[in-house]
Structure 1
Amino acid sequence: MPTDRSKSNVLPHSQSAPNSMQLRRVAVTNLKPAPYNPRVDLVPGHPTFEKLRRSIETFGSVEPIVWNCRNGHVVGGHQRLSVLKHLRRSHVDVVVVDLDLPAEKTLNLALNRIVGEWDEGKLAELLKDLTADPSLDLGLTGFDGTEIDHVLANVAITAGLANDDAAFDVAANLQTSKPAITKPGELIVLGDHRLLCADCTVAADVDRLMDGQRAVLFATDPPYLVDYDGTNHPGTKPGKHKTNSPGTNGVIMSRAALPSMRVAHASKLRSRPTKNKDWSGTYGVTWDDADANTDLYDKFIAVAVEHAIAPNAAWYCWHASRRQAMLEAAWIKHGAFVHCQIIWAKNRPVLTRTWYAWQHEPCLMGWLQGNKPPRTQRDVLSTVWHIDTIPNGEQRPDHPTPKPLEVFETPMKQHTRVGDVCYEPFAGSGTQIIAAEKLARRCFALEISPHYCDVIVRRWIHAVGPAKAPRDLVTRYAVQAQGATVKATGKKAVSA
């Protein structure tokens, strides 16, 4: 005996055949638009709305709305529902599904894939939510991995960075960090990123930073192990020397301030006459020292392999040309394969005392033997990257090897997807953290200098905007900058 389909019960999902379609007539008032639906809402007068209205008035509602009986959500047909409400229809035929919320969202994307206009913000939030569940087959949505990455990255670029990073003055902020706010050993959570003021050659510190996770990108700009006090190039004009006065040009820290950290440069902080550019005061406590041996490179790579990076992580390491042999030896020792060398071709040379003015920087690219990293971008790039240097007076004018965001963005685009972890053992002023924020990746970073950690925190707050940053973090690191103090208007911080 046939039953009245308007009163029939819907079979549980587990009892329904995969190919079965159950129709039911329900009141329009019982249909709840899904709050996450990424399509733009239609209103009368919109061209698509008017086309649908004319079609329904002429042919009726020939394509049923998809309705989830578990929660009353409309899964597919939001635009048709808007038109039906406008036409004051009381009841409508629906295709009934019985799905949990993740499956419902996946079906929603699949049904919405072909027609209509996207609300990019809602689409990105929905995709981000679904990518967090590894059990879901995102291919069912109609989006492939590259398309998902593109949507999320575009939204991150337009919404994630509230302010232009180039407008942040690293040198000025470094000078304000006296004394440092960040304490040695402190772990700071910056949105999706983690920053630890510690030593990247200490396994326990790296374990604490990574918190059981492994990075798929190992890109870094480590110390070049060169003399930044200028004494490796003697002055040529007697009587026209300058004297390095520790503590007057930048941030100088005592060895006691970092008892567990190697302070290679501190032993050289003494007055020495030279007419060459002196970077030592700007750096204060750093790893950079021409007297250092391969010990630093050996240790930070060993700890990264054992405690921070995935076996198939992509490796990128910027270096000084004179240290290339040392770096290659360290890579080979720890099982890495040097695949190629990348050259950053700058738009202008750096003035030095060398015979030819340097206008490039090299970077080794590779991976652990037998563990080729994934390629997440279809474009095949050249080994020569033509990227403009940071303009005079902008970003790190007192640093001899400043890096623009692009040198870290490119590897992220080549090897990672949204939400992937990138490991940075030498954070410096936080360039890779900002690049990760821009592309919706996660950067887990260490920086040995509390003063540079202060700069990183302020730079991140500037990038995302104080309103999106934890309120207590904004308050703690607030400084007078460009005539206005950063206001504490953000949300409460999550304890690390």
Structure 2
Amino acid sequence: MKKNADVVPIQSLKQDPNNARNHGPENMDAIAASLKKFGPARSIVIDRDGIVRAGNGTLEAARLAGVNNVRIIEADGKTLIAVKRSDLHGQEAAGYAIADNRSGELAEWDFDVLGEVLADLKSSEDPELLQSLGFSLEQLQTLIPSSDTDTRTEPPIPKAPEKPVTKRGDIWKFGPHRLLCGDSTSKKEADRLLHGIESQLLHADPPYGMGKEKDGIEGDNQYGEELDRFQMSWWTMLREYLTDNASVYIWGNPEPLWRLWHLHLIKSEELAYRNEIVWDKGPGFGQRSHLQRSFSINTERCLFFMRGRQFFGNVNKDDFFEGFEPLRVFFEEQFAIMDWGPADVLRLCGVGMYGHWCTRSQWTLVPSKHYATLQEAAKGRAFVRPYREIRKEYDRARKGGGHLDPIRSFNETRAYFENTHDNMNEVWTFPRVETEERYEHATPKPVQIVERIIRSSCEAGKMFVDPFMGSGSSLIAAEKAGRVCYGIEIAERYCDVICQRWANFTEESPIRESDGARFLDLKG
């Protein structure tokens, strides 16, 4: 690129192929109107290769408006550059300011592209890069697609200490996650952690009544009516912190699960039963013993409910917005021309989205990146229609039908559920947690099980509640899956186990909320 203030043809500049902003017809019309009325007045930013990094909409509108040349100002990021328009003043200048801000408002994020760009930036060696983009930590966790291939493994297992650092009432912070050392049946205690919270998922592994208090499960020596009262006390308290359409997963032994949770609660509250999840732990003990009076038990059970009245038809098949039908038919026809099916889409684009792009079932618009891939693979036989034209038709359909988001209000009544991240049914085969991996806890769940639950019923970046944290599998699962865990554990020593487990896994110290003290410093 030439130095200083040379003028170059506008055609020498290149659009950003990974631009995450969509400039729909209304936005382009606004930019074009501003250029026509006020002329070019704001700068755009290009990199050393002539790729536009800020101002792609302005560049495109300028080309359409007949602007032929661009003045290049070399800069190194150390001096603020101002564009001085001596001819702008008074009401005209005020009008330009409004037009400039309004045109920026009319652009929209392409969240698929934005997520991919943010995921790439996350791998940068500059730790401040992501923090300087204007998104909060919670927003970044929502926007960045979670990886299903988190390769981090947990280091050696921490022991439960005899003299724990944690004291009753402490709240520990683990990045966005939180842990309260307290009683999950006490509203006064739990409210310190959950005040103002609305969680879309509750994952609970409460005491089963198996007499294992000596093994570290407080409350596990309760039986019968006493245990039932305990179960209802924590449920009655915690349901206040759940959304009206939250998902609920509760572990336990089959008989009390069905008697208490299924038969009782499903009558007294709006709970929609979905599945009895069976954890197959592999061969059990005494399978060929003549002393047995029943089959050997090698499973644990979990009931899966959804709160509220749930419609279990298909959201787009049964509530499909007809304004999208011409676009759906277009994509269906293009795939038919190429004789491409689900396997071809997965091979070409790396995503299993054929059904979402071609059928009325959960239909969604093909992202620009994948459309470009399909265009290239079709070699002119199909998918020749310009993507921008497709996007304009999509935007018109959304706005013209009064459907800024045609299924949002419908979805708000349904619990979140997404089961395409894994190949699974209601029988889950995972090895039991062996002795050295139990963190000295009697009934820990494998991280993979909790991760499967939260990926299925908690949106990326959103928060779930675990009222019986035990040894902390939910915390590790949340960190790996890009969700946020708010947990409660009554035993001080297990809170220390959770803190140390987090520190071992992330190489970061938990922080005590009350005074900012670092767990690793206090532990010594």
After TM superposition, the score normalised by the length of structure 2 is: 0.54
2:194 match = 210
Alpha-carbon offset, residue 153 of structure 1 = 1.3
CA RMSD of aligned residues (A): 4.7
Which residue of structure 2 aligns with residue 440 of structure 1?
482
Evaluate the alpha carbon distance shift between residue 123 and residue 460 of structure 1 in structure 2; reply closer, same or farther with a 3 A threshold. closer
For residue 218 of structure 1, give the secondary structure of its aligned residue in structure 2.
strand
Partner of 1:311: 244
Partner SS state of residue 328, structure 1: helix
Aligned to 2:456: 414
Structure-1 residue corresponding to 2:175: 191
Deviation digits for residues 146-198 of structure 1 (CA, Å, limit 9, x no counterpart)? x99684312x965xx8x423x342xx421xx1112111111222211111111
Residue in structure 2 matched with residue 178 of structure 1 by the alignment: 162
Question: Is the 1:183–1:450 contact (alpha carbons within 8 Å) kept by the matching residues of 2?
Answer: yes
Contact 1:318–1:364 under 8 Å retained in 2: yes
Identity of aligned pairs, percent? 19
Structure that is richer in strand per residue: 1
Match among 129, 135, 145 for residue 135 of structure 2: 129
What's the CA shift for 1:299?
0.4
Q: CA deviation at 1:361?
A: 1.4
The answer on whether the counterparts of 2:307 and 2:415 sit within 8 Å (CA) in structure 1 is no
Report deviation, 1:383: 4.0
Is contact 2:146–2:482 with CA below 8 Å preserved after alignment? yes
Q: CA separation of 1:104/1:347 partners in 2, compared to 1, >3 Å: closer, same or farther? A: farther
The residue aligned with 1:120 is: 119
1:358-387 CA-to-partner distances (Å, cap 9, x unmatched) read 222111111334266433526397542433
Letter in 2 for 1:403: K
Amino acid at match of 1:457: C
Greater Cα offset, 401-410 or 327-336: 327-336
CA distance in 2, matches of 1:386, 1:285: 27
Q: Is the 8 A contact 1:197 1:446 kept in 2?
A: yes
Aligned partner of 1:331 among 245, 254, 265 = 265
CA distance in 2, matches of 1:362, 1:178: 32
Q: Is the 8 A contact 2:194 2:241 kept in 1?
A: yes
Matched length: 348
**Matched position secondary structure for 2:450:** helix
Amino acid at match of 1:294: D
Shift of 1:205: 1.4
Which residue of 2 is the match for residue 475 of structure 1? 520
Deviates more, 1:311-320 or 1:370-379: 370-379
Unaligned runs of 5+ in 2: 1-27, 62-69, 76-82, 84-95, 124-129, 311-412
Q: 1:467 to 1:343 in 2, by over 3 A?
A: closer
CA offsets 1:437-496 (integer angstroms, 9 cap, x no match): 2222211111110011111111122222227978942434547xxxxxxxxxxxxxxxxx
Q: Which amino acid aligns with 1:220?
A: A
Q: 1:346 aligns with which of 271, 274, 280?
A: 280
- Structure 1 residues not aligned, in runs of 5+: 1-15, 34-41, 54-61, 68-80, 87-91, 134-146, 229-264, 266-279, 480-496
Kept after mapping to 2: 8 A contact 1:216/1:314? yes
Q: Deviations over 1:381-422 (max 9, x none)?
A: 754243322453542064443211232222322232223121
Is residue 298 from structure 1 mapped to residue 232 from structure 2 by the alignment? yes
Tell me how far 1:22 sits from its aligned partner. Answer: 4.0
Tell me the secondary structure at the aligned position of residue 365 of structure 1. strand
Q: State the alpha-carbon separation in 1 of the partners of residues 105 and 182 from structure 2.
A: 42
- Relative to its length, the structure with more helix (as a share) is 2
Q: Does 1:423 align with 2:362?
A: no
Task: Measure the CA separation in 1 of the matches of 2:106 and 2:522.
Answer: 42
Which letter does structure 1 place at the counterpart of 2:249?
Answer: Y
Q: Distance in 1 between matches of 2:58 and 2:137?
A: 29
Instruction: Report the counterpart of residue 492 of structure 2 in structure 1.
Output: 450
Whether the aligned pair in 2 keeps the contact of 1:342 and 1:383 (CA below 8 Å) is no
Aligned match of 1:153 in 146, 154, 158? 146
Partner of 1:225: 209
Deviation of 1:31 after TM superposition, in Å, equals 4.7
Are 1:424 and 1:432, in contact at CA under 8 Å, matched by a contact in 2?
yes
Q: Cα–Cα, structure 1 residues 106 and 196, in superposed 2: closer, same or farther, change >3 Å?
A: farther
Task: Label 1:22 to 1:404 Cα distance change in 2 as closer, same or farther (>3 A).
Answer: same
Amino acid at match of 1:20: A
Q: 1:468 to 1:104 in 2, by over 3 A?
A: farther
Q: Name the counterpart of 1:20.
A: 32
**Structure with more contact order per residue of length (Cα contacts < 8 Å, sep ≥ 6):** 2
59, 64, 70: which is aligned to 1:65? 59
Q: Is the 8 A contact 2:202 2:247 kept in 1?
A: yes
C-alpha distance in 1 between matches for 2:490 and 2:510: 26
Give distance in 1, aligned partners of 2:32 and 2:510: 47
Report the Cα distance in structure 2 between the residues aligned to 1:111 and 1:364, rounded to whole angstroms.
34
Q: Which amino acid aligns with 1:346?
A: D
State the match for 2:437 in structure 1.
395
Alignment match, 1:98: 100
